[in-house]
Structure 1
């Protein structure tokens, strides 16, 4: 029932159902019952064998699903999603998918695949798998007590109450402060496991006090009508959880108590003895069939849905196509259950010896790792990564900035190359260019090795919007024998004499201290900040407060400043938008119509930082570099110019475009402003 709800809510409603929480709750319920029965009967816990038995059953169907998803992604999904799918394939097979998603949430450079990833749903299986490893260890703590013939339920209840309270507190706090991370956090979900375990420990007492009976006992339970009503109340609460309450942004905090309480009500109700009881419905053949395929159904429904939505271009499935997705998922789940899950689960040969089960687990992971890794290696062998820019044969500016009406044979970078489009320099900072101390979130890099000699230094400071111009500096630096040092800090512009966020606090002083200590010849930073615009011919590009005193501080230190105008920002991922048009057989001109905008919507009519030219010393030591005419030629900001995608996401230029288009104008403007770089 819970996993069926997950599929239905995903396909038609796009909301959180609470089904996954029930899934974790019941997993703990069954696990705890298994180990407590072993303790009560004096049998060995056999934790290692339990691990092998569990993952031997779980991993083969998961591996088959992941392999099918990799094949489907290659056939149906845009290439920009391929690296994400490869990463998540291995992470899912290793039961660390939730940790990967947490990392991607906080990684500035990660592409936002969001719900588009066909393997994202493996996060809950990862939480379950991690709990399956840790939870049995709790029962080892009471083995000696069980051997002495003493009850283990009370100490286990006390331990689980402590774990559950700590996890629930953590869940509530992190859900309020960082819900997107908390959603995938195992620690924020352990209280749901604790709740399922507590019910398993308490249920025998509850059953005794309420006169519960099993159907096979042939006796009617006490409180039959009450049990039937309680069961239906639980089902109603579970069904209503995601419909009546929009709990998407509230999970996994205290609100998850609702689906857990609903599931607990159904379990406590148990056998009602009434024909109209919910237990009668859940015992029918159709319900049992869904139960049999529920694991495989959870595995396959999300990849099928994601691929269908990508191919159809829809945000959500309609009634008929949603039914087709559900029917296809049920059929595929039945096939995987019959062909993989059931044979592995029932195999006496695999269970006979631990090493055979271990081989099944290892083989499942190896198949996924080899498939994902082989795909990645094959792509990169066919398409070597772009080398660091230097003096090279570049296309003419006219050819590189036209919007073609017919798609070129190849538009670069390919989607799977986007991870290499960030303009990293090849060396870690060292030698005479090493900073006196590290600063958080500043990954200091340099162009030349630590033992190289150079006639001067260019330091890049500010946010990633300053960093993106590094490839355009390299030919100029090479020609004049200059070192380039990347001192940028993602999401922090270089401003002074203003209040900074806690994240950026101290960065301005860190830059000025570096300049004082190393006396670079040139410092590059952005001096304006663009906005999304209003779409009506008005741009909100401005010079940020604190930019003028920051530039003044550099000029006062006899440093030459390259003040670059910011690049356009967008509401949508420009690469993904243009890629979708091209993959449907469209031309760059079609991508421009679908994704582009007039320059007037993105850039101010004149450079908002023009007033910096009036600062003392600016006449000789300030170059205001405006690349608007190259990025938005002929008054139009297009996602594809020439044979290059302009953007890698919603606001950063691709390295390919910078190297093919911006090298020439940057070199010309710097040569004109600073014919001799050294002071």
Structure 2
């Protein structure tokens, strides 16, 4: 009998099967769905699923051992995965097709990787390695396959747990056969429980995002289920009244856990003991269906039926929610929309259970073999075929998606410079209808700019507080230009570097993402404060001819006083004090105006509106101050030509319209950073503006 989120089908006829635990599955999955859909939270229901899966696996294995049978390994693995994979494969194929059609291509590569990880039970490690915040639910980051993390953990345990049980049997028979098997296996699972729980508490305290997906941090939940399975015969001898009261307490705790517990900050450490121990109290409660017992409620036919569908309900609800929010543009589902999503998830689960899972199981169970053929071996072959077909069909859909991405890359590579002139496009230029806009939304990871080589020799900061330093050009003493700031300085670096190198000069780029030089507001973060202190000393000691910094600060959205982003643009706080050491060293400071910011991703908007690119444009009047704050700053200080202004707004926002696409090139790689492709196309305009401002030749 395969016991997981959807189990079992035929086992409801078994005298050893407890229908109330199907109801417990239904309760857990309904809590998961409700908290995901309406509260953007996690309920603890998944922890119950994980514990239950080990409870059933250990119970069934213990019964086999009590009958003198060996615990199954290969046949057990095939039995479980041949039942798990068909529905999972259908969901993955459906998500691939829907994402291909609905989601912007900025998210395709990640979803292709996640599809493979989900299909082969590695999604939890993918999410852990990529530091995905499971709780940061929004349409720009939530993956429709994110929920496969728990199924991946469960699949890994379904491989490991039979090995642990088989090893326990071996040790029991060799050394402790005079004892009950439960004591030997219990010792193993107790060690796993203690070790994993200690690890879980530690990693949750230090890196909760990784802990949430880490198999090692979840092993104790499975060990708890196994310990409960082994101890249940003894627990059943306790007074019925005590078990009944404890069971109701467990029921109340499970329902309330999601609302009361800080799942986001404290799971899966010791706090996850609360829902799992609550479920254990329900399992240990009297199993009779009397209304006085929790099992009486959990054995209600509707709950039992939903328990049969719980695996599919879990599989379907999350991608349906993600796609609904993406299409609707809503941040949350309303009560009506959420109710419809739950109903749709139940309906989809019924369909895949009725028309995919059950026929596959029936086919495996009812295969007719000649009397001279070993039925066990041939049944294993049929299970291998089910696993292979399921994995194969899902893999084909992912491969087709990958091939589409590669085809678009090939088309983009075959385009000529006249198809994507970017900033050099003449006013009367008209793109070819078939020409793709560059950069492709799938290639944005390559659009961050680091145009040179790591700083070396006398230019090496040799200060661990400066983590990002690049250099280029011909050095003869001090550098001609130092670019200093955050990622908004970085995104002009390719053009500035080209301007210096083409005139025979040298340059250095020193930056720290999210750390605007001169800004006290950014110094609240210790790492940023350290960078600013180190960078000030480093650049002043270099005494370059010029220092280029971003001098104004733009924002994307209205503030609490309903001031527009343009009304909020201002000079960097403490900018005068920040640049004074460079002026004292004899450097000319180039105070550059910040670029406009958007509340949405430009490439995603362009990808979604290929025929109406103007829908992605912004208004310079809304995004930027009417008077450049840098000009106002210079008017208030007597710097002469030692501090000059550089403003590229005219390039980005011709005639007051901040363009999402110029010359068939996307200007931004996200909502606030310029794409390398566009910046390189604008290097002539940048060089002209730079020389005009500074007098550099």
- Which TM-score applies when normalising by structure 1? 0.77
Separation of aligned partners in 2, 1:550 and 1:653: 25
1:539-618 alignment, distance < 5 Å: 539=568, 541-545=570-574, 548-549=577-578, 552-553=581-582, 556=585, 562-569=590-597, 572-575=599-602, 578-579=605-606, 582=609, 588=614, 590-592=615-617, 598-600=622-624, 605-607=629-631, 610=634
Is the 1:646–1:657 Cα contact (8 Å) retained in structure 2? Answer: yes
Separation of aligned partners in 1, 2:154 and 2:268: 15
Once the 2 structures are TM-superposed, how far is the Cα of residue 71 of structure 1 from its aligned partner?
Answer: 0.4
Corresponding position of 1:340: 356
Corresponding position of 2:232: 203
Corresponding position of 1:296: 312
Is the 2:592–2:646 Cα contact (8 Å) retained in structure 1? Answer: yes
Is the 1:454–1:483 Cα contact (8 Å) retained in structure 2? Answer: no
Corresponding position of 1:10: 36
Once the 2 structures are TM-superposed, how far is the Cα of residue 16 of structure 1 from its aligned partner?
Answer: 2.3
- CA distance 1:236–1:515, change in 2 (3 Å): closer
- CA distance 1:242–1:66, change in 2 (3 Å): same
- The SS at the match of 2:568 is coil
Corresponding position of 1:190: 219
1:593-672 alignment, distance < 5 Å: 598-600=622-624, 605-607=629-631, 610=634, 619=641, 624-632=645-653, 645-660=666-681, 662-672=682-692
Separation of aligned partners in 1, 2:453 and 2:161: 43
Separation of aligned partners in 2, 1:439 and 1:154: 50
Is the 1:521–1:560 Cα contact (8 Å) retained in structure 2? Answer: yes
Question: More displaced, 453-462 or 479-488?
Answer: 453-462
Corresponding position of 1:82: 108
Separation of aligned partners in 2, 1:475 and 1:294: 59
- CA distance 1:168–1:117, change in 2 (3 Å): closer
Is the 2:603–2:670 Cα contact (8 Å) retained in structure 1? Answer: yes
Once the 2 structures are TM-superposed, how far is the Cα of residue 549 of structure 1 from its aligned partner?
Answer: 4.4
Once the 2 structures are TM-superposed, how far is the Cα of residue 230 of structure 1 from its aligned partner?
Answer: 4.6
1:619-653 CA-partner distances (Å, limit 9, x unpaired): 46x65422234445556656566755544334322
Kindly tell me the number of residue pairs found equivalent between the two proteins: 643
Separation of aligned partners in 2, 1:156 and 1:602: 71
- CA distance 1:383–1:204, change in 2 (3 Å): same
Separation of aligned partners in 2, 1:602 and 1:33: 73
Q: 1:325 aligned to 326, 331, 341, which one?
A: 341
Separation of aligned partners in 2, 1:368 and 1:485: 49
Once the 2 structures are TM-superposed, how far is the Cα of residue 254 of structure 1 from its aligned partner?
Answer: 4.2
Separation of aligned partners in 2, 1:603 and 1:40: 84
- CA distance 1:303–1:165, change in 2 (3 Å): closer
Corresponding position of 2:276: 260
Is the 2:93–2:397 Cα contact (8 Å) retained in structure 1? Answer: yes
- The SS at the match of 1:152 is helix
Is the 1:528–1:609 Cα contact (8 Å) retained in structure 2? Answer: no
Where does the alignment leave 5 or more consecutive residues of structure 2 unmatched?
1-25, 368-374
- The SS at the match of 2:238 is helix
Is the 1:496–1:547 Cα contact (8 Å) retained in structure 2? Answer: no
- Which TM-score applies when normalising by structure 2? 0.75
Separation of aligned partners in 1, 2:668 and 2:635: 29
- CA distance 1:97–1:161, change in 2 (3 Å): closer
Once the 2 structures are TM-superposed, how far is the Cα of residue 271 of structure 1 from its aligned partner?
Answer: 1.2
Pairwise CA RMSD = 4.9
Corresponding position of 2:492: 469
Once the 2 structures are TM-superposed, how far is the Cα of residue 72 of structure 1 from its aligned partner?
Answer: 0.8
Separation of aligned partners in 1, 2:657 and 2:78: 60
- CA distance 1:542–1:638, change in 2 (3 Å): same
- CA distance 1:561–1:78, change in 2 (3 Å): same
Separation of aligned partners in 2, 1:469 and 1:386: 24
- The SS at the match of 2:563 is coil
Q: 1:352 aligned to 377, 387, 406, which one?
A: 377
Separation of aligned partners in 2, 1:395 and 1:136: 63
Is the 2:205–2:266 Cα contact (8 Å) retained in structure 1? Answer: no
Question: More displaced, 643-652 or 78-87?
Answer: 643-652
Once the 2 structures are TM-superposed, how far is the Cα of residue 332 of structure 1 from its aligned partner?
Answer: 2.1
Is the 2:593–2:628 Cα contact (8 Å) retained in structure 1? Answer: no
Is the 1:433–1:518 Cα contact (8 Å) retained in structure 2? Answer: no
Once the 2 structures are TM-superposed, how far is the Cα of residue 499 of structure 1 from its aligned partner?
Answer: 6.9
Where does the alignment leave 5 or more consecutive residues of structure 1 unmatched?
211-221, 402-406
1:60-71 alignment, distance < 5 Å: 60-71=86-97
Corresponding position of 1:24: 50
Matched, 1:145 2:171: yes
Once the 2 structures are TM-superposed, how far is the Cα of residue 599 of structure 1 from its aligned partner?
Answer: 3.5
Separation of aligned partners in 1, 2:84 and 2:230: 25
1:212-268 CA-partner distances (Å, limit 9, x unpaired): xxxxxxxxxx54xx6555544433332333356675555434443332233222211
- The SS at the match of 1:209 is coil
Question: More displaced, 432-441 or 115-124?
Answer: 432-441
